[in-house]
Chains A and B, each alone.
Chain A
Amino acid sequence: MSIFEYNGSALIAMVGKNCFAIASDRRLGVQLQTIATDFQRIYKFHDRLFMGLSGLATDAQTLYQRLVFRHKLYQLREERDMKPETFASLVSALLYEKRFGPYFCQPVIAGLSDENKPFICTMDSIGAKELAKDFVVAGTASESLYGACEAVFKPDMEPEELFETVSQALLSSVDRDCLSGWGGHIYVVTPTEIKERILKGRMD
C-alpha cells in the first residue's frame, strides 16, 4: 500500500462568485482501521486564507506547524496578512526543500486575494504548483472527486449554491472510497463571513 494511502483523506476547494469553499472528509485511519471520525484536515491561517492537507497525517501536522511558524513571523515583520499567492509559493518552497526525503502530503490552498478574488491551488508532495480557476482536489478519493466536481461545477455560484455543490461532490466521492469518509467538514468563505458546517454522510 502506498504511504499516501496510509491514513486516507479527501479534499476539495472550489471557486464561486467572490467566494470559495474548502471541504474535507473527517476520517483518520491506520490502513483498514478507523481511529478517529473528527479529524481536522483544514487549517485557517487568517480570515482569508485556508489550507487543507491530505496524505500522511503526521507529515500534514508537522507541515502545518512549520507553516504557522513562518506565517506568524511574516505577520509580525510585515504587519499584514499573507496573500494566498505568496503563501502558495512559501508552501511550494518548503516542500521542495525536502525534495529527496519529502513530506508525504498534498496541500490544497484556498483564499481571497486582492479585490476579494478567490484563489485556489494544489501541489504535489514536492511542491509543483497547479493553479486552477474552477476547483482542485486531493486525497485517496481524488479520482472520484475529479469526476464529481467536473460534473457539477458551474462558474460564479453564490455561496449557498456553492455549499450544496461541494457537499454533493464530496459525499458522493468519499462513498466510493473505503479510506475516506465519516462525514464532511466544509468552510464557505466570503469577504464578510466564514461559514463552517459539518456534514453527515454515510458513516462508514
Chain B
Amino acid sequence: MSILSIAYDSRTTIFSPEGRLYQVEYAMEAIGNAGTAIGILSKEGVVLVGEKKVTSKLLQTSTSTEKMYKIDDHVACAVAGIMSDANILINMARVQAQRYTYAYQEPMPVEQLVQSLCDTKQGYTQFGGLRPFGVSFLFAGWDKNFGFQLFMSDPSGNYGGWKAAAIGANNQAAQSMLKQDYKDDITREEAVQLALKVLSKTMDSTSLTSDKLELAEVFVLPSGEVKYQVRSPDSLSKLLVKFGVTQAPAEAS
C-alpha cells in the first residue's frame, strides 16, 4: 500500500482513489489469522469443519463450541475472525430467524437469512462511522425451496452460494484443494472425509487430534426433520483414524 493510502484508511465511509475500502480489507486481514473453517455441500447434507485455535490445557471444557453455532433448527454457521464480533452477528441472525418464523409461521429460507445478515454488515461499511465486523461466515442450511445450501459471507457484506468453501487462515490453499477434489455427486460421508483431509493439509500443526477440531453436519432425518449435529470428540477421533488423517494410538482403540 502506498503512503497515500494511509490518508484513506481511517474511515469506512470513504473510498480510496483506487476505489478500495481499506477498512473492509483490513477486516479481512484480521480473519486471515483466524482458525480455518471449511464447508462442503453434498446431496445428503452440508458438512462444516473448523480448526480450534484456543487449545490451552487451562481452558475450562464446556459443551459449547468455538467455531460452530446453531442459528435455527434448519441453519447453522461456522465462523472465522474476531469472536466477539461473531457473537453479535450470531445473535442478530438468531433473532432474525425467529422474527421471520413469528411473522410467516414457517422457517426462514437460508438465503434470506444470509442476505439479512449481510445487509447489516454492509451498513457498517457505508454509514455510522463504525468499523466493519471482523468475521467471515459459512452458513449451512436446508429449506423446502432449494434443499441443502452453503453460503459464504465476508466483512464487506458480500455473500455467495458455494459447493465448497473455506474461510480463515490458508483459505486460498484450502479452496484450491477443494476445487481439485470436489465432485458434484459427493455423498455426506465423502464430504466429511474430504473436509477432514483438506483441513489436515492446511493446518499448521503436525498431528490432528479431535480436540483441535470441530465437525458439524446439517442433514435430514428419515422423519423429514432437519438436524444440526456436532460430532462428539470420541466420534471425531474414530473418524480421524478411519480416514487415515491421524495415527491410531499404540494400544488398540
Chain A residues in the interface with B (C-beta under 8 A):
65-66, 68-69, 72-73, 76-77, 79
Contact = CB atoms under 8 A, between A and B. Distances in A.
Contact of B101 (A69, A76, A77, A79): A69
A73 B95 contact: yes
B44 interface: no
A66 B63 CA distance: 28
A72 B72 contact: yes
B70 A76 contact: yes
B229 to A, nearest CB: 14
Grouping DSSP codes into helix (H, G, I), strand (E, B) and loop, the A interface class, with mixed when no group exceeds half, is: helix
A79 B230 CA distance: 13
Interface of B: 63-64, 70-72, 91, 94-95, 98-99, 101-102, 105
Contacts of B64: 79
Contacts of B71: 76
Contacts of B72: 72, 76
Given A79-B63, A79-B64, A73 B98 contact: yes
A72 B101 CA distance: 11
A23 B89 CA distance: 41
A73 B205 CA distance: 37
Contact of A72 (B63, B91, B98, B105): B98
A73 B94 contact: yes
B102 A65 contact: yes
4 tightest Cβ-Cβ pairs between the two chains A and B = A69-B98, A69-B102, A76-B94, A72-B98
Contacts of B102: 65-66, 68-69
Nearest to B69: A76
Contacts of B105: 65
A79 B94 CA distance: 13
Nearest to B90: A76
A73 B64 CA distance: 16
A160 B218 CA distance: 39
A69 B72 CA distance: 11
A137 to B, nearest CB: 29
B94 to A, nearest CB: 5
